[in-house]
């Protein structure tokens, strides 16, 4: 069952998926630019992380920030590589929505799911750290509301290509079902002949069902053309 059938109520899923791809490309490019700028500021990043570790209770994130402090360039490079792959998947997503290709859409869904998972963990961790170190509940509520709101938008955008894949799979299943029904209906009207059932070719994605030893010399369907060749 698809999660949704339209994007933003009025737009079809294919158009919505293209819009999601464009938005994601813009996000990826912005983050890549920030990473490129950050590569020239690794010393500053290390100092700021060191100050943060000494002035705040970072609980279970302490070891993570210490590792980043030692080699921020490595982490920034890994983030850049991820978002380069993410950008490529966005381009594939746009093209896949044009061509109705599930294979081209899946990489984006997987990479975006990983990103959403990391963002959710980061938002939860940020709220815990703010609660531990900032005794201002109004600020905590504000950050929580903003984080949850942004998460809802990102999850909604992710659900659009996911729903498109679900619809494409459902469409293929319906096509197979209708083709099988047509095959059985036409087969029941044929005269009984001694044909080995193993030799019957059934291809639900084509309009021709033939007998294996003989290849059709025409493209089905045509009027009054048989569905078997003997």
Tell me the per-residue pLDDT of 136-154, one tens digit each, with 9 for 90 and over. 778 888 888 898 999 999 9
Please say if the pLDDT value at position 198 is more than 70. no
Q: Is pLDDT larger for residue 214 or for residue 143?
A: 143
The length of the chain, given as a count of residues: 230
Is 90 a member of any domain? yes
Query: How many domains is the chain partitioned into structurally?
Result: 1
Is 174 a member of any domain? yes
DSSP-derived secondary structure letter, 55 = H
Q: What was the pLDDT predicted at 1? A: 73
| Domain ranges, residue 172 | 1-178
CB 69 within 8 A of CB 49: yes
Which of 73, 74, 85, 149 has the alpha carbon at shortest distance from 115? 85
Is 210 a member of any domain? no
Is 229 a member of any domain? no
Is 98 a member of any domain? yes
Is 165 a member of any domain? yes
Q: Is the four-CA dihedral 206, 211, 214, 220 of positive or negative sign? A: negative
Indicate the pTM of the whole model.
0.73
Is 206 a member of any domain? no
CA 212 to chain centre: 39
Q: What was the pLDDT predicted at 57? A: 85
Please say if the pLDDT value at position 218 is more than 50. no
Is 211 a member of any domain? no
């Amino acid at each position: 069952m698809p999660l949704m059938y339209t994007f933003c109520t009025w737009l079809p899923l294919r158009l919505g998926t293209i819009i999601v791809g464009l938005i994601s490309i813009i996000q990826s490019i912005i983050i890549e630019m920030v990473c490129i700028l950050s590569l020239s500021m690794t010393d500053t990043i290390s100092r700021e992380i060191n100050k943060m570790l000494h002035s705040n209770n970072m609980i279970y994130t302490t070891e993570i920030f210490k590792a980043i402090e030692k080699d921020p360039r490595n982490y920034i490079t890994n983030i850049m590589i991820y978002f380069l792959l993410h950008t490529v998947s966005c381009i594939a997503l746009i093209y896949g929505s044009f061509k109705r290709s599930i294979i081209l859409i899946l990489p984006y869904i997987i990479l975006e799911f990983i990103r959403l998972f990391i963002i959710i963990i980061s938002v939860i961790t940020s709220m815990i750290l703010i609660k531990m170190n900032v005794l201002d509940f109004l600020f905590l509520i504000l950050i929580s509301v903003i984080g949850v709101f942004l998460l809802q938008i990102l999850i909604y955008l992710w659900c659009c290509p996911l729903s498109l894949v679900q619809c494409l799979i459902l469409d293929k299943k319906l096509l197979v079902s209708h083709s099988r029904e047509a095959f059985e209906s036409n087969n029941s009207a044929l005269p009984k002949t001694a044909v080995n059932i193993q030799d019957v070719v059934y291809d639900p994605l084509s309009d021709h069902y033939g007998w294996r030893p003989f290849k059709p010399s025409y493209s089905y369907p045509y009027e009054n053309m048989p569905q078997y060749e003997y």
